[in-house]
Structure 1
Amino acid sequence: MGSIKVLDSAIQNKIAAGEVVERPSSVVKELVENSIDANASQVEVFIEESGMKQIRIVDNGDGIHHTDGPLLFQRHATSKIGTDYDLFQIRSLGFRGEALASIGAVAKVTVETNHMEGNPVFIRFEGGKLMEQTPGKERKGTDITITELFYNTPARLKYMRSMRTESGKIIDVIQRMALAYPNISFRLILDHSEKVMTKGNGNLKEVISDIYGLNIARHAVAFEAEDADFRIQGFLIRPEINRSNRNYLNISINRRFIRSFKLSQSIINGYHTLLPKDKYPIAVIDITMDPKLVDVNVHPAKTEVRFSKERELNQLLEKTVRSHMKGEMLIPDVAKKSSVPKQQVTQGTLDFSRETRDDNVPEKPETDWQQPATPDFRKPSAEYKVVPKKTVLNETKVKSKQTVQRTVPDQTRVKNTETTDTTSTTTGSSIEKEKLPYLEIVGQLHGTYIILQNDTGMYMMDQHAAQERIKYEYYAENITIGKTDGVPLLIPYTFEFPMNDIIEIDDRLKRLQSLGFNIEKSGIRQYAVTAYPNWIDDKHPERDIGELIEFVSSRPDFSVNQYKEEMAIMMSCKQSIKANHYLDRVQIEALLESLRACHSPYTCPHGRPVIIHMSTYEIERMFNRIMK
C-alpha cells in the first residue's frame, strides 16, 4: 500500500497559516486590506495585549452577503478574481483567498456583517471549523474579532517577540496603510490608548503630520512625475530631517505598500550627497502603473513584487527625486520656529541697500588659496566693509570667471574651451534661481566658519565643506573615463610603492591609463608617469597623482559612475581648505561666489551642511527681546 496521502484540510490551513499569519501584525494587515477592498471610508482597529488576546477590526464597507457565510473561511475562496487572466491585472489588495482561512485555522473568530443586498449575519469560527452562523444585528459594514491567536499552535507562541515589538509592528502596518490611503480614516486603539488617528479627508500632508509630527510635515516637498508607463507622486522630506534606517521610506505600487531594496536605493541615490553617511531619507511615494507591469503574486504576504520595466522605473524615480531636491533651498535652521508668533520688541532693521564702505581704504590684493594671509580678527579692520546687494549682483557675471579659477584646479589646462564659459553661465543662472540668498560677510570664527548675515538673520558657513562642494562638482563633471589627452611631462614623476601594493597596482594600470595617465612600470617597485589628465590640480600634481594611484589600487572593480563618484569625493576632500585656516575678505568673497555657482550648494559630498541659518526671531528670543 502506498504511503502518499492527502492531508486533512485543517492541517493544510495550519501549514498555509505559517506563511500568511506570521504574527499579530500580519492578521491586522490582511483584515484591514479586506476592509479597504470593501470600499470602507472608516476603519477602526482595537488591539489588546499586542493582539495576542484580541484583535478587532470595524469598518463601514460593503459588508459580506449572508449567502457567502459558508465560504468565508474556505481556502482560495475569494470575490476578487475569477479567471487565470485576472492574475495578470490585479487591482485589489487581496486576491488569494487565504487570509481568513489561515486566520481561522489558528484562532477563534467572530464576524458580524451586513451587505446592502443581503441580511445581517453572525458567524463564529474556531480552529478551522464553522461553529455557528445565525442572523445578526443591523449594521453597516463588518465587525470581525480574533481572539486567542495561535491557541492551537503552541510552537508558534514560543517565537513571538516582546509585547512592545509586536505592538510596534501593528502600529507600523496602520501607519503605512494610512499613508497609502489618505482618503480613508484610520483609528488604532492599543490597550485602550489611541495610537493612530487620521481624518480621511484625502490630504496626504495632513496624514504625514498626524503620523510623523508637524515638524516633519513642515519639511515635506510635494512632487509628481510621469512617463509613458509610470506616474509617481507623493512627498519627499528635506534632507535635514533624516533617519538611521530605511524604515521611513514608504513606497506603494497602485496604493499597495511594498518593500523593494532597488526602489529604496533609487530614492537614496536621488538625495545623492545631501545626506550624511549612514543616514536615510523620509519619503511617502505612490507609483501608479498598469497592473500588467507588476506581479504581486510572488509571496502570500504580498509585500514583494516584480516589475516588467524595473530599470526604467528606477531611473525615473531617481531622476525625479534628484530634480526636486535640486529645486529646493536646503539651508537648515538652527532652531525650530514657534508655531504661535509672539509679540516682540520692534527694532529698526539694517539697510542692506546702502553702501557704507570707506573709499579711502585701498582694496587688498587677492592671495592664493594655498597661502592665505592670516587676518587679526581681534582688531577692527577697515577693509571689512559692507557690500551693497545691488553691487554684488551686478558684478557677479564679471567676477564669475575669475572666481571659479581661484577655487577649482586651473581650468586653463583643459582643452575644452567651453568649460570656463559654461561655468560662468551656471553662476549667473544659479543667482537667478536664488539657490543662495544675498549674504553679507561679517567675519570668520576660529579660522573655520564664515559668519554671514542678511535681513532674515545670521548664517554660518563651513569653509571646508563649502570648498569641498565646489571642487566635488568640478571633478564630477570633468573626470572622464577613456580620455586620452593630458598634460605631458618633460621629466617623468617616479613613484615607489611597497611590494604588497604592487600586485594591485599592476592589476589596475589599464584603469589608470583610461583616465588619461601615461603610466608604466619602471622598476620592481617603481612606476613612471609621463603624462597626467588635465583635470589634476597643477599646483600639486605629484602629490595628487600619488594619492590617486593609491586610491585606484585600493578599490575593487565596480561601475564607472560609482568609480567617478568616489574619486571625485576623495580628491575634493583632500584638496579643500581645512579648519583653523584663516582667510582674508577677498578669499571669503571668492569662496561664497563660487559656492553660488554650484548646482547643489547646501551640503558637502559627504552630506554635511555647508551653511546653516539662525533667524532674527530666534536670536532675539535667546536675548529675551521677545515679549509674551
Structure 2
Amino acid sequence: MASARQIRLLPPELQNQIAAGEVVERPASVLKELIENALDAGATRLRVLIRDGGQSCIRVSDNGCGIPENELELAVTRHATSKLSTIEDLSAIRSFGFRGEALPSIASVSRFRLASATHDGEGSALEVLHGRVVAIGPAAMPRGTEVEVQDLFANVPARLKFLKQPATETRKCGDLFVRIALANLDVDFELLNGERTVHRFLAGEDLPRRLSAIWPRELVDSAHHVDMADGPFSVRGLIGDPATAQARGDRILVYVNGRPVQDRTMISAVREAYRGRILGKEYPQAVLFLQLPPDEVDVNVHPAKTEVRFQDEGTVFRLVRRAVAKALEACTDVPPLTENAAHFSVSRSLPVLPVAPPQERAFADAPVPARPDSPLYEQPWPRKFSSSAAVQQLFETPAAPVPPEPTPQRSPDPAPQPEAALTRYLGQFADTYLILAGSTEITLIDQHAAHERVLFHMLRTSGSRGDRRPLLMPLEIPMHPSQALLVQEIWTQLDELGFSLELATEPKLLLHAVPALLTPSKAREFLEDALTDKASSMEDLWAVMACKAAIKAGDVLTPDEALALIESWQSLPDRNFCPHGRPVTLRWSVGDLEKQFKRRS
C-alpha cells in the first residue's frame, strides 16, 4: 500500500517549468509569445533574429511603449500582467496576451535577457537563468523592448530531445512570423536567420503583396477578394481560385480579431463553400479575417491561445460560408455561342448554333432524338433551341468548302452580342473535349463533366420523382453486413431516386427496378460507389447518379449532340464545375498563347 504524502506548495521554479510545458512547446512557440507581446505594446517595427532554428538564440526587438525599470522583475513573475485587472476584463479581451505566463515560462527553461526603455536612452536590463534572476541594471537603448532567449531547454533535456532538426524549426518559426505579419499590415517586420534576412515586410503593404512572400505569385494573382459584413460580424481576406486547389490543407489561414487560430468551424465553412468546385480530397487556399465583438468569442480555451470558442458557431459558419461562396461567384464564365450561323472549317464544316434569348430558354423533358448507336441514346438531358426550324435548316445545309453567305430567310435573331462575347464551336478533340473559340480566348469543355453538371441540375431542380425502369429479373448484389446497414440508412433516399429494393439474407440486395437514367449495370455501379463513399445526403446521391448516367470520355458526339450539350450546360447558373468539384472548362486567352509561342514575355 502506498504511503501517504504531504500536500505542499510547489516552488516557483517548478511551477514555471510546468507552465512552460503548456506554453513553450518549441522555438516557434517562444517567438509567437514575444511577437504578440511587442504588438500589444503598440510596436510599429519588429526585428526578429533566430539561430539554429531558435534553439541557441531568439531575439525580438521592437519600438513599443517599453517597460518601466521597477516592473521588470514583475514581468517575469507568473500571473503578473498589464492586460487584465478584473474578472470582467476576461470576457472582453482585445490584446493577444493576458495570462501572465509567457515570459516566466520562457525564462524558466532558458538563459533569458529582457531590456526595455520607456524613453530613448533611458533603459534597464534584467537577466534570468533557468527561472532565477541573476542581474539587473541600467542599459542605454532606444525606446522599446528587446528580449533575447538563449539555450532554450538546456536545463530540460527531456524537452530538448523532442526538437526537430534546425532546418525544420527554422521553417516553423518562419511560417509563424509570416502568419502574424499577414494580420498586421501597418507594422514593419524583419526576420533574420543568423545574418541573413529571410523576410522583410514594410508597413503599409497590402495583403496580396505580403502573401506573395510565401505563396506562388500566380496563385495570389488569381485569388478572389472576400468582404462581407453582417451586423457586428465581418469577414474579409483572400481565397484561392478553385483551379489552384491542392492536396494539403496548410494554406487555409484563419484569424479571429487579428489572432491566428486553428478553428474547425471556420475551416469547415470554407470547405463547404468550395463544395462542388473542387474534389473532395482537395483543399483550397484562404486567408480570412473574422471580426466580431470580444464577448462573442472565448479566447481563454488553450494556454497557447491557438483555439477559440464562439458564442454562436452557427452564425460564424453561415457568414464565412456565404462570404466565400459570394467571392467564388466572381469566376469568369464561357460566353454564349455566336449568333453568326456561318460554317467554320476545321477538318470538316461545322454549323454554329443560334442562341435562344433568355426568355425562350426552358428545359424540356423529351429525350434527345439521337441515333440508336449514339452515346447519348435515351439520355434525357434538357433540349432548348430558339427555333427548331432554324436548327433543322442549319443541320440540313451541306458542308461547303468556303463559308456560305448567311441565309436571309433565317428566323429573327435575338439582339446582337458584342464582338468579345462571340464564341464558335470548332469540334471534338480526343473524343472527350469540345472546342470553343471566341475573339479573345479558346475554351476546352470536358464533355463528361459538363453532362454531369446538366444531369445534376436536372435532378436537383426536378425533385425526387422516383421515375423507374422495372427489371424482368431481380438483380442480385452481394453485400458486406456493414454495407447492409448503410443501405438501410439511405433506403428512403434510394426509393426517391427510383430504386425498388429488397434486402435478402446472406446478406444481399435485390434490385427490382432502377432509376430511369441508369442501365442495370450502371445502377449496380451507382450503389457500389454510393456505399463505398458513404454518400448519405440527396446531393451526394444526385452527384453519383449524374456521374454514372453522363456520357463518358471517348464517346463520339455528332455536331448537333455536342451543340445541344453545350447550350444546355451554358444555361446553368453553376456550370463551372462538375458535382464532384472537377473543372468543366479550361481557357487560354490570346495573351496566354502568345506567351506559350514566345511572342512576348
Q: Structure 1 length as normaliser, TM-score?
A: 0.80
Shift of 1:171: 0.7
* Equivalent residue in structure 2 for 1:575, among 542, 545, 549: 549
Counterpart of 1:511, as a letter, is T
Counterpart of 2:187, as a letter, is I
Native 8 Å contact 2:361 2:384 kept in 1: no
* Equivalent residue in structure 2 for 1:463, among 425, 436, 447: 447
Q: Secondary structure at the match of 2:426?
A: strand
RCO higher in structure (CA 8 A, sep ≥6): 1
Match of 1:114 in 2: 117
* Equivalent residue in structure 2 for 1:451, among 418, 429, 435: 435
Shift of 1:623: 3.9
Q: Secondary structure at the match of 1:211?
A: coil
Q: State which drifts further: 309-318 or 468-477.
A: 468-477
Residues 226 and 517 (structure 1), Cα distance of their counterparts in 2 relative to 1, 3 Å cut: same
* Equivalent residue in structure 2 for 1:356, among 339, 342, 345: 342
Shift of 1:385: 3.8
1:102 aligned onto 2:75: no
Shift of 1:213: 4.0
Distance 2:532 2:124 in 1: 70
Match of 1:373 in 2: none
Native 8 Å contact 1:404 1:594 kept in 2: no
Distance 1:31 1:309 in 2: 31
Native 8 Å contact 1:512 1:552 kept in 2: no
Match of 1:318 in 2: 321
Residues 526 and 132 (structure 1), Cα distance of their counterparts in 2 relative to 1, 3 Å cut: closer
- 1:180-219 pair list within 5 angstroms: 180-201=183-204, 203-219=206-222
Match of 2:564 in 1: 590
Shift of 1:243: 2.7
Native 8 Å contact 1:508 1:553 kept in 2: no
Residues 330 and 101 (structure 1), Cα distance of their counterparts in 2 relative to 1, 3 Å cut: farther
Aligned residues between the structures: 554
Shift of 1:166: 0.4
1:494 aligned onto 2:451: no
Distance 2:33 2:268 in 1: 27
Distance 2:330 2:417 in 1: 9
Seq. identity, %: 29
Shift of 1:312: 2.0
Q: Secondary structure at the match of 1:495?
A: strand
Native 8 Å contact 2:121 2:142 kept in 1: no
Distance 1:576 1:65 in 2: 73
Match of 2:130 in 1: 127
Distance 1:458 1:504 in 2: 49
Q: State which drifts further: 447-456 or 544-553.
A: 544-553
Distance 1:40 1:452 in 2: 55
Counterpart of 1:68, as a letter, is E
Residues 71 and 117 (structure 1), Cα distance of their counterparts in 2 relative to 1, 3 Å cut: farther
Residues 441 and 153 (structure 1), Cα distance of their counterparts in 2 relative to 1, 3 Å cut: same
Counterpart of 1:565, as a letter, is E
Counterpart of 2:176, as a letter, is V
Q: Which runs of 5+ in 1 are unaligned?
A: 332-351, 359-376, 413-418, 422-430
Q: Secondary structure at the match of 1:111?
A: strand
1:278 aligned onto 2:281: yes
CA deviation string 1:344-372 (max 9, x = no partner): xxxxxxxx7866349xxxxxxxxxxxxxx
Native 8 Å contact 2:384 2:564 kept in 1: no
CA deviation string 1:435-476 (max 9, x = no partner): x95421111112111122112232212111111222223334
Native 8 Å contact 1:602 1:609 kept in 2: yes
Q: Secondary structure at the match of 1:251?
A: strand
Shift of 1:567: 0.9
Shift of 1:139: 0.5
Residues 458 and 526 (structure 1), Cα distance of their counterparts in 2 relative to 1, 3 Å cut: closer
- 1:449-528 pair list within 5 angstroms: 449-480=433-464, 486-487=466-467, 494-498=474-478, 503-504=484-485, 507-508=488-489, 510-512=491-493, 515=496, 517=498, 519=500, 521=502, 527=510
Q: Secondary structure at the match of 2:82?
A: coil
Distance 1:553 1:608 in 2: 21
Q: State which drifts further: 449-458 or 51-60.
A: 449-458
Match of 2:388 in 1: none
Distance 1:146 1:513 in 2: 63
Match of 1:262 in 2: 265
* Equivalent residue in structure 2 for 1:608, among 582, 586, 596: 582
Q: Secondary structure at the match of 1:240?
A: helix
Q: Which runs of 5+ in 2 are unaligned?
A: 369-375, 386-414
Native 8 Å contact 1:326 1:599 kept in 2: no
Distance 2:35 2:178 in 1: 12
Shift of 1:490: 8.4
Residues 202 and 477 (structure 1), Cα distance of their counterparts in 2 relative to 1, 3 Å cut: farther
Larger helix share, 1 or 2: 1
Q: State which drifts further: 614-623 or 172-181.
A: 614-623
Distance 1:171 1:66 in 2: 32
Distance 1:231 1:420 in 2: 42
Provide the alpha-carbon RMSD of the alignment: 3.5
Native 8 Å contact 1:492 1:528 kept in 2: no
User: Any runs of at least 4 consecutive aligned residues in structure 1 with deviations exceeding 6 A, and if so which?
Assistant: 431-434, 488-493, 522-526
Counterpart of 2:363, as a letter, is K
Residues 128 and 452 (structure 1), Cα distance of their counterparts in 2 relative to 1, 3 Å cut: same
Native 8 Å contact 1:50 1:167 kept in 2: yes
Counterpart of 1:356, as a letter, is A
Native 8 Å contact 2:432 2:553 kept in 1: yes
1:442 aligned onto 2:426: yes
* Equivalent residue in structure 1 for 2:363, among 390, 395, 401: 401
